[in-house]
């Protein structure tokens, strides 16, 4: 079914069902899993297979370019280079591939499989896939991410272990139904943590009421029990009841369920606030392709990263569709705790690599997680046993009013022009044990892209001896304390500022503002200026934030200029940030060398995606990943630039963070800097101000609001 484009080049719509960047469908995952399982050499191997992830193997960028030129929107044949003046139009795209991470529970081996998926029936008949193994390779000396099924297995293993049952009895707990075992990854501290064994070092909590499933059990940490679980064999391999710490008394403020189940009364005066979009949303969706207010991009989703934003571009009048980024996502997180005592020094969750931000995502609800006209995307995964699981309504896409966009009132005439800002927000939320993280990408009409993380959920607490307080945290309730910690997030941004397909014409410039020296050129002592420095190679591009010099970075196109002759670019504007508050020898920094700087820049390499390596769990290799790659000191003066922005917040807990923490926000901004010739928001039309009649129409409001009349 080919149709003619406006330029006479045939466009092959529907020749393929899936864009090369579409996440694997449920059917594709099922085929990929079946293909791998069938390739197992023995019944025993097949039985031992545990499917940690099955994810799209993203194709090379030229395949994406081909798809975007002829097969899928944005249908841009003119962007592809032509051979001898005429376009080369392929008849179809190469088959999609899946990458599977499989843990062999018998051999304790981790294997990466590549499976090619071909469609054997036409898309119109529902599609039918067939898989072919392209490669399989054992990855030595790693442990892949922990799976939700293992969380449950670990809990059961510990709760059935007689010495543990004894230890809980010693603490006055007979009912093992009350006990919660959270399977934290072991990290790497000594050879005993080597990936030759699959380990968990669980944290123990204990609820007080067996008939209350929503009781907040994190309010009673069980301290003093040392337990290590072999997750391969589901056995406790180390156990010691080291110290008798009494269970904290039940905190009467521990619950957060509504009203009486919490033990309180809910507010009754929150009146409804409804977002009404009577003409529907301003966005258009075609599969995973999103168009909104001159922006367009594709949505993806992976088990490790969760939401991925691909092929971000802005349609800029006669200049057409101008790319900004190939791929944006969060590729790792680290949450190191600052208490040197057991078990807290072991807490430094790598939530992407050890657990999976995507695998732990939520199914969202309108009116609660999201407001307004929502477009949800589902996400499909393989579970540990190889069955396909779907998180419905996993990614939320919607518009938001965002206050005023710009305004000017002329003092001579009193005439004002004011515009309201609308933003498009794409997000997902995940839970990793006690904590919740929401990841948001906001697109604005003025060309900005904002990345925002919202932190909420339940603090990871410790128990104190009666009367004890701890230098390394905040006492939250009697015998309960919350250790200080930091949350670090690593955004990986494969940029494409004004790069057409197959172009790699970007570089990164650091800007620092400098006070001008004294002298005749600065007689009033007021002068300062922005100093630019090209980050020429990887080792030069390990940089930290410096608010005192208004430091920021610009990704510039080396061959495209704006109307003043300056290179077009996008600014990375840091928000609040910090660096790890740990001594350089801290064990978690072995695995998290990438935390040592706020900015890293690398030339694009499809193998370099996870800054602590693909398998940070129990990783014995010092500084695997980003901190090692950059040692090559590859040139960056004109290439396909990947930015790694590392940002964190230091969390000194407050009583008000308990029992569930009000959302804390942190993020950064990508902002056009000479990318456009003037503000791209200048063409936003005025809003209507004729809603004034509304107030008068609403007599209820007047009654409820007391004296809401004009003073």
Nearer residue to a second copy within complex by CB, 80 or 433: 433
CA–CA separation, 456 and 651 (whole Å): 12
Site string for a second copy, 154-193 (x = CB under 8 A): --------------------------x--------x----
Instruction: Decide: residue 169, CB within 10 A, 0-12 exposed, 13-18 middle, 19+ buried.
Output: exposed
Nearer residue to a second copy within complex by CB, 27 or 133: 27
Which residue in 371, 465, 534, 561 binds a second copy (CB under 8 A)?
A: 371
> Contact between 675 and a second copy (CB under 8 A)?
yes
CA–CA separation, 82 and 40 (whole Å): 45
CA distance from start to end of the chain? 67
575-634 residues near a second copy, rule: CB under 8 A: 575-579, 581-588
Catalytic residue among 435, 437, 440, 570: 435
Q: Are 352 and 305 in contact (CB under 8 A)?
A: yes
Site string for a second copy, 429-468 (x = CB under 8 A): x-x-xx-x-x-----xxxxx-----x-xxx----------
> Contact between 527 and a second copy (CB under 8 A)?
yes
Nearer residue to a second copy within complex by CB, 174 or 279: 279
**Residue 103 structure tokens:** 């843990």
Specify the residue for token string 């990936």.
195
Q: Are 388 and 29 in contact (CB under 8 A)?
A: yes
Site string for a second copy, 288-327 (x = CB under 8 A): x--x-xx---------------------------------
Closest CA to 147 of 98, 203, 190, 101: 101
Which residue in 265, 318, 607, 696 binds a second copy (CB under 8 A)?
A: 265
Identify what 621 binds: a second copy, Co ion, none; CB under 5 to 8 Å per kind: none
> Contact between 151 and a second copy (CB under 8 A)?
yes
Catalytic residue among 351, 494, 640, 673: 351
What's the closest the beta carbon of residue 482 comes to Co ion, in angstroms?
8
DSSP 239-263: EEE----PPPPPPTT---SSHHHHT
> Contact between 196 and a second copy (CB under 8 A)?
no
**Residue 196 structure tokens:** 């030759």
Q: What is the dihedral of CA 77, 81, 82, 84, to 10 degrees?
A: 170
Nearer residue to a second copy within complex by CB, 155 or 614: 155
Check whether the bond before 74 is cis (ω within 30° of 0). yes
Site string for Co ion, 601-640 (x = CB under 5 A): ----------------------------------------
Q: What 3-state class would DSSP assign to 548?
A: helix
Taking CA 142 as the corner, what is the angle to CA 140 and CA 143, rounded to the nearest 5 degrees?
140
> Contact between 344 and Co ion (CB under 5 A)?
no
Nearer residue to a second copy within complex by CB, 49 or 52: 52
Radius of gyration of the chain (CA): 28
What's the closest the beta carbon of residue 485 comes to Co ion, in angstroms?
6
369-408 residues near Co ion, rule: CB under 5 A: none
Q: Are 129 and 31 in contact (CB under 8 A)?
A: yes
Instruction: Decide: residue 385, CB within 10 A, 0-12 exposed, 13-18 middle, 19+ buried.
Output: exposed
How is residue 7 annotated by DSSP?
T
User: Which CA distances in Å does 234 have to 18, 93, 152, 198, 433?
Assistant: 40, 45, 11, 10, 20
Count the neighbouring beta carbons within 10 Å of the beta carbon of residue 585. Answer: 7
Specify whether 351 is catalytic: yes
Identify what 211 binds: Co ion, a second copy, none; CB under 5 to 8 Å per kind: none
What's the closest the beta carbon of residue 219 comes to Co ion, in angstroms?
16
The total number of residues shown for the chain amounts to 711
Q: What 3-state class would DSSP assign to 513?
A: strand
Count the neighbouring beta carbons within 10 Å of the beta carbon of residue 553. Answer: 26
Specify whether 410 is catalytic: no
> Contact between 475 and a second copy (CB under 8 A)?
yes
CA–CA separation, 109 and 259 (whole Å): 49
Which residue in 191, 267, 607, 696 binds a second copy (CB under 8 A)?
A: 267
Which residue in 345, 350, 439, 488 binds a second copy (CB under 8 A)?
A: 345
Identify what 585 binds: a second copy, Co ion, none; CB under 5 to 8 Å per kind: a second copy
CA–CA separation, 477 and 254 (whole Å): 9
Identify what 683 binds: a second copy, Co ion, none; CB under 5 to 8 Å per kind: a second copy
> Contact between 411 and a second copy (CB under 8 A)?
yes
Identify what 270 binds: Co ion, a second copy, none; CB under 5 to 8 Å per kind: a second copy
374-403 residues near a second copy, rule: CB under 8 A: 374-378, 399, 401, 403
540-579 residues near a second copy, rule: CB under 8 A: 545, 547-548, 550, 562-564, 566, 571, 575-579
What's the closest the beta carbon of residue 441 comes to Co ion, in angstroms?
22
Q: What 3-state class would DSSP assign to 365?
A: coil
DSSP 367-419: TTTB-SSEEEEEEEEE-TTS-EEEEEEEEEEEEEEEEEEEEEE-TTT--EEEE
CA–CA separation, 277 and 190 (whole Å): 57
Q: Are 311 and 298 in contact (CB under 8 A)?
A: yes
Which residue in 2, 122, 156, 404 binds a second copy (CB under 8 A)?
A: 404
Q: Are 265 and 397 in contact (CB under 8 A)?
A: no
Which residue in 387, 407, 559, 632 binds a second copy (CB under 8 A)?
A: 407
What's the closest the beta carbon of residue 294 comes to Co ion, in angstroms?
25
Which residue in 426, 571, 651, 667 binds Co ion (CB under 5 A)?
A: 651
> Contact between 423 and Co ion (CB under 5 A)?
no
Identify what 610 binds: Co ion, a second copy, none; CB under 5 to 8 Å per kind: none
> Contact between 369 and a second copy (CB under 8 A)?
yes
Q: Which active-site residues does the annotation give?
A: 351, 435
Which stretches of the chain bind Co ion, using CB under 5 A? 651
């Amino acid at each position: 079914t080919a149709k003619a484009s406006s330029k006479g080049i045939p466009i092959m719509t529907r020749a393929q069902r899936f864009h090369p960047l579409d996440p694997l469908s449920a059917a594709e995952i099922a085929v990929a899993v079946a293909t791998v399982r069938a390739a197992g050499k023995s019944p025993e191997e097949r039985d031992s297979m545990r499917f940690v992830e099955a994810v799209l193997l993203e194709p090379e960028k030229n395949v994406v370019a081909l798809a975007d030129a002829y097969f899928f929107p944005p249908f841009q044949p003119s962007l592809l280079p032509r051979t001898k003046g005429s376009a080369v139009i392929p008849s179809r795209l190469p088959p999609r591939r899946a990458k599977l991470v499989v843990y062999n529970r018998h051999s304790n081996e981790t294997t990466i499989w590549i499976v090619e998926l071909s469609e054997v029936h036409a898309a119109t008949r529902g599609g039918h896939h067939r898989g072919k193994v392209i490669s399989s390779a054992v990855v030595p000396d790693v442990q892949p991410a922990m799976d939700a099924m293992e969380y449950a297995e670990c809990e059961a293993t510990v709760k059935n272990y007689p010495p543990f049952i004894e230890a809980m009895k010693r603490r006055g707990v007979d009912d093992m139904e009350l006990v919660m075992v959270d399977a934290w990854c072991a990290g790497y501290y000594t050879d005993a943590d080597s990936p030759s064994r699959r380990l968990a070092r669980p944290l123990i909590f204990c609820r007080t009421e067996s008939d209350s499933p929503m009781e907040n059990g994190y309010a009673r940490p069980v301290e003093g029990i040392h337990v290590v679980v072999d997750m391969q064999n589901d056995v406790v391999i180390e156990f010691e009841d080291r110290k008798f710490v009494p269970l904290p008394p039940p905190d009467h403020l521990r619950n957060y369920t509504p009203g009486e189940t919490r033990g309180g009364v809910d507010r009754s005066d929150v009146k409804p606030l409804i977002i009404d979009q009577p003409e529907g949303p301003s966005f258009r969706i075609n599969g995973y392709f999103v168009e909104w207010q001159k922006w367009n991009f594709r949505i993806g989703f992976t088990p490790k990263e969760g939401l991925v934003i691909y092929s971000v571009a802005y349609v800029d009048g006669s200049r057409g569709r101008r790319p900004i980024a190939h791929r944006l996502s969060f590729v790792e997180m680290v949450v190191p705790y600052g208490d040197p005592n057991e078990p807290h020094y072991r807490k430094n969750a790598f939530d992407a690599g050890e657990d999976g931000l995507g695998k732990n995502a939520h199914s969202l609800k309108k009116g609660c997680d999201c407001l307004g006209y929502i477009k949800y995307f589902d996400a499909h995964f393989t579970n540990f046993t190889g069955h396909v699981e779907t998180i419905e309504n996993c990614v939320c896409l919607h518009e938001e009013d965002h206050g005023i966009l710009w305004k000017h009132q002329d003092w001579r005439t009193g005439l004002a022009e004011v515009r309201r800002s609308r933003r498009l927000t794409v997000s997902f939320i995940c839970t990793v044990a006690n904590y919740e993280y929401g990841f948001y990408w906001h697109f604005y009409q003025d060309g900005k892209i904002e990345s925002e993380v919202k932190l909420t959920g339940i603090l990871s607490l410790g128990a104190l001896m009666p009367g004890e307080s701890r230098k390394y945290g905040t006492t939250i309730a009697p015998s309960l304390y919350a250790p200080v910690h930091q949350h670090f997030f690593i955004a990986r941004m494969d940029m494409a500022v004004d790069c057409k397909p197959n172009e790699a014409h970007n570089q990164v410039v650091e800007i620092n503002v400098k006070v001008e020296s004294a002298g005749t050129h600065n007689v009033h002592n007021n002068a300062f200026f922005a100093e630019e420095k090209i980050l020429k190679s990887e080792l030069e591009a390990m940089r930290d934030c410096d608010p005192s010099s208004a430091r920021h970075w610009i990704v510039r196109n080396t061959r495209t200029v704006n109307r003043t002759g300056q290179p077009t670019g996008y600014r990375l504007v840091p928000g609040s940030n910090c660096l790890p508050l740990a001594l350089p020898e801290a064990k978690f920094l072995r695995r998290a060398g990438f935390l040592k700087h706020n900015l890293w820049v690398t030339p694009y390499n499809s193998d370099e995606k996870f800054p602590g390596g693909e398998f940070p769990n129990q990783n014995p290799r010092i500084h695997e990943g980003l901190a090692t790659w950059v040692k090559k000191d590859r040139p960056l003066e004109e290439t396909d630039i990947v930015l790694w922005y590392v940002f964190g917040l230091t969390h000194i807990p407050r009583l008000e963070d308990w029992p569930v923490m009000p959302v804390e926000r942190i993020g950064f901004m990508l902002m056009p800097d000479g990318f456009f010739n003037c503000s791209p928001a200048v063409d936003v039309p005025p809003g209507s101000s004729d809603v004034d009649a509304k107030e008068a129409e609403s007599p209820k409001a007047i009654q409820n609001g007391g004296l809401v009349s004009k003073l």
